[in-house]
Structure 1
Amino acid sequence: MAEVPDDLARLWRLPMGAKLGRPAALDVNRVVDVAVELADRDGLAGATLPKIAAALEVTPMSLYRHIGSKDELMVLMGDAAFGPPPETLAAVADWRSALRGWAEAQVAVYRRHPWITELPISGPPRGPHAMAWMDAGLRALRGTALDWPAKIGVITVVGGYVRQAFITARQLEQARSAVDLDEAGALRAYSGALVDLVDPQRFPDAAALFASGVFTAPEIAADPDEDFAFGLELVLDGVAAAQ
Structure 2
Amino acid sequence: MQNDDRLDEVINDLPHGVALSWGFVKQSTRGPKGELSIKQIVDAAIAIADKDGLSAVSMNRVAQSLGYSTMSLYRYITGKEDLLILMQDAACDIPIPPDNPDADWRENMREYVQATIQVFRKHPWMGDIPIPSIPTTPNNLQVIDWALRFMRDFPLNDYEKMSIILLLSSYARSSGIIQRDMDRAVQSGTSPETFSGFYYTAALKRLVKPERFPDLHPVVASGAYTGENESDNTVGNDFDFGLERILDGIASYLERKETP
Q: TM-score, normalised by structure 1?
A: 0.85
Structure-to-structure mapping, 1:67-146, within 5 angstroms:
67-88=77-98, 90-91=99-100, 93-146=103-156
| Contact 1:94–1:143 (CA under 8 A) maintained in structure 2 | no
Q: CA deviation at 1:119?
A: 1.6
Q: CA deviation at 1:220?
A: 6.3
Note closer, same or farther for the CA distance 1:218–1:195 as it changes in structure 2 (3 Å cut).
Answer: closer
Distance 1:98 1:228 in 2: 16
Question: Which residue number in structure 1 is paired with residue 257 of structure 2?
Answer: none
More helix by share: 1
Q: CA deviation at 1:59?
A: 2.4
| Contact 2:182–2:195 (CA under 8 A) maintained in structure 1 | no
Structure-to-structure mapping, 1:150-229, within 5 angstroms:
150-175=160-185, 180-183=190-193, 187-214=197-224, 215=226, 217-219=228-230, 226-229=237-240
State the superposition RMSD in angstroms: 2.8
Q: CA deviation at 1:142?
A: 1.0
Gaps of 5+ in 2: 1-5, 255-260
Note closer, same or farther for the CA distance 1:172–1:113 as it changes in structure 2 (3 Å cut).
Answer: closer
| Contact 2:49–2:57 (CA under 8 A) maintained in structure 1 | yes
Distance 1:114 1:106 in 2: 12
What per-residue deviation string (whole Å, max 9, x for no partner) do you get for residues 155-189 of structure 1? 11101111111211332454466674332685223
Equivalent pairs counted in the alignment come to 240
Which of 207-216 and 14-23 deviates more? 14-23
The aligned amino acid for 2:176 is F
Gaps of 5+ in 1: none
Which of 175-184 and 24-33 deviates more? 175-184
Distance 1:147 1:110 in 2: 30
Distance 2:213 2:64 in 1: 56
Question: What's the % identity of the aligned pairs?
Answer: 33
Q: TM-score, normalised by structure 2?
A: 0.80
